[in-house]
Amino acid sequence: MDLSACDAATLRTLLGNGDVSAVEVTQASLDRIGATEPHVKAFLRVLDEQALAHAADIDRRHAAGEPVGPLAGVPLALKDILCTAGVETTCGSRILEHYRPPYDAAVVERLRAADAVVVGKTNMDEFAMGSSCENSAFFPTRNPWDLDRVPGGSSGGSVAAVAAFDAPLGIGTDTGGSIRQPAALCGLVGVKPTYGLVSRYGLIAFASSLDQVGPIARTVTDAALLLAAIGGHDPRDSTSIPQPVPDLTAALDAGVDGLRVGVVREFTGDGMEPGVRARVDAAIARLGALGADVVEVSLPHAGYGVSAYYLIAPSECSSNLSRYDGVRYGLRVDGATTEEMMARTRAAGFGSEVKRRVMIGTYALSAGYYDAYYAQAQRVRTLIIRDFEAAYEHCDVLVSPTSPTTAFRLGERAADPLAMYLSDIYTIPSNLAGAPALSLPVGTDDAGLPVGLQVMAPVLGEAVLFRVARALEADLRFDATPTGRNSLAEVLA
């Protein structure tokens, strides 16, 4: 049996029945990483010794009849934006190179409690700023479906690792689409939970009112299992919702008969590739055939989402990244004065995209411009929230493409920030609203590249989100194995 090809739910059953050991599963994952990593470059560091030690402890407890966690022995790829005690955590930036946190993030604590086996820390756009995983300070990650194309970003490393079958589960973060957009480009399920459902304690901050940790998987069921493991109240996070994660599996296979599905009018316009439009339209038609009541709805202010986001997020980024001054931790470049040391440190430690957003945010927050830019963007955010609330009075979920295009070529948009930013045009509004959204693979375009359908739900509507996605997944039966010309499968053959 090829253990690296098994999903998390299957591995749970095999491990629970004693058909395989956690060490065998972990070793299969590490062997797979060894074969794929020279081509994909998904990981910043592979934690082989730590992973095998954890797996051996799981096997010991299982043999002794001691309790093990709900994800016992399942390999997982962790985005390098979450603090791991004693393990280098760089956030894809030179300014945090060699930084070893003294504590674990809340999500990491819960993964350990669930006995998921973290096999490595994955590559990402620096400080989660990017849509292609080309902004990493270390190297770009490649898409397993076509190794000359991007995997999306900023969670490109975790998504590429799951798409390459290095691990069945991944953890990413989503500030404006950074889980859903790469999931769409790599043929995976990616979920941005309700803001506050998953603790941000120990998450290296980009934009604090938008950042959210979420699951990446090859199946809807696996994504639901992972979200259940990492979610729930955490008093260390002041924005954490003070209630447990809703039951995400009780109605998972209830189907969509009688549900009201709204197609967002503003997300069907110009800029969408024909292959994306065809696959998304076909998927929406299948929802109707499965019994859903499909109607058109409007989010009239959604078109201003990108503009509002690129004022709010850089403003919060400017504030959050001011802590990297060469004094307390991370990189330090000496200078004749404190001011010179700080300037040299930030100049050497931050990449061009981070510098661009820090400057935009600092300008937007400066005296005389705050009301015209940042405050106005927050007013637009309020209008978008109200648009969603009005739409959900008539619909249980909303649907749209996840990304207007399939995976683009490495370097294709590197010199065009606006084109890069528009990759998230359909995902950003849900972040501004704080509501959950999911990307589901619904087929491939004529070039054989995956297309994602975005499913959105009201705040704390994860259960219906997974229900709709599971019904469509069962109907479409998408094969998550990357194939075709220049794919990982072709290179490894």
3-state secondary structure of 142: coil
- Residue 328 has a pLDDT of 83
Report d(CA 131, CA 180) in Å as an integer.
10
DSSP secondary structure letter of residue 192: E
Catalytic residue among 21, 132, 136, 154: 154
Catalytic residue among 41, 79, 121, 192: 79
Number of neighbours of residue 45 by Cβ within 10 angstroms: 15
Number of neighbours of residue 396 by Cβ within 10 angstroms: 20
Q: What residue numbers bound the domain in which 177 lies? A: 3-247+479-492
Query: At 30, which CATH number?
Result: 3.90.1300.10
Query: Could you confirm whether 178 is annotated as catalytic?
Result: yes
Question: In this structure, which amino acid lies at residue 405?
Answer: T
Q: Is residue 7 situated within a structural domain?
A: yes
Contact 475, 255 (CB under 8 A): no
Query: Could you confirm whether 199 is annotated as catalytic?
Result: no
Q: Is residue 415 situated within a structural domain?
A: no
Report d(CA 328, CA 77) in Å as an integer.
29
Q: Is residue 296 situated within a structural domain?
A: no
- CA neighbor of 115 nearest in space, from 43, 23, 183, 242: 23
The residue written with tokens 């945090």 in the block is 96
Task: Please compute Rg for the chain using Cα positions.
Answer: 21
Contact 404, 147 (CB under 8 A): no
Q: Is residue 50 situated within a structural domain?
A: yes
Return the ∠ at Cα 173 (arms to 476 and 482), rounded to 5°: 40
Q: Is residue 283 situated within a structural domain?
A: no
Q: Is residue 195 situated within a structural domain?
A: yes
Positions in the chain whose pLDDT score sits under 50: none
Q: What is the largest CA-CA distance in the chain?
A: 70
- Residue 325 has a pLDDT of 92
Helix 305-320 and helix 352-365, axial crossing angle in degrees, nearest 10: 100
- Residue 400 has a pLDDT of 98
How many domains are there within the chain? 1
Q: Peptide bond before 400: cis, by omega within 30 degrees of 0? A: no
- CA neighbor of 332 nearest in space, from 348, 319, 356, 318: 348
Q: Is residue 228 situated within a structural domain?
A: yes
pTM of the model: 0.97
- Residue 367 has a pLDDT of 85
Q: Is residue 204 situated within a structural domain?
A: yes
Catalytic residue among 136, 178, 318, 403: 178
The residue written with tokens 């070893």 in the block is 100
β-bridge pairing 293-297 and 213-217:
unpaired
Report d(CA 425, CA 398) in Å as an integer.
15
